[in-house]
Structure 1
């Protein structure tokens, strides 16, 4: 895996979390989920963002070491 590919993984992870917010919002509008489900999705996305900000460099060094 190249370093660029490893960097792209963090973007894909972020996009997946944002899609969860869209998913839960859709279910909320259809009456299949609660308002709390949407709030939880936003909180989890925020927690992931904080974690990625603090750990992306370390994560990338593990999955795509630069020789």
Structure 2
């Protein structure tokens, strides 16, 4: 919880671009992976390692389908 508060403060101080928000969320997700059982960590890290560019491309494709 403390890490989340620090991250939120950094975002508020530095301004929030979509990329910065995404990167900080992914960072928080990677930290959360460390708290999972070892058998779940690899899958968790894979889910938390998608780059912003990959995310944005998938997002645009999904928006075009609708």
After TM superposition, the score normalised by the length of structure 2 is: 0.44
Which fold has the larger relative contact order, with Cα–Cα distance below 8 Å and residues 6 or more apart in sequence?
1
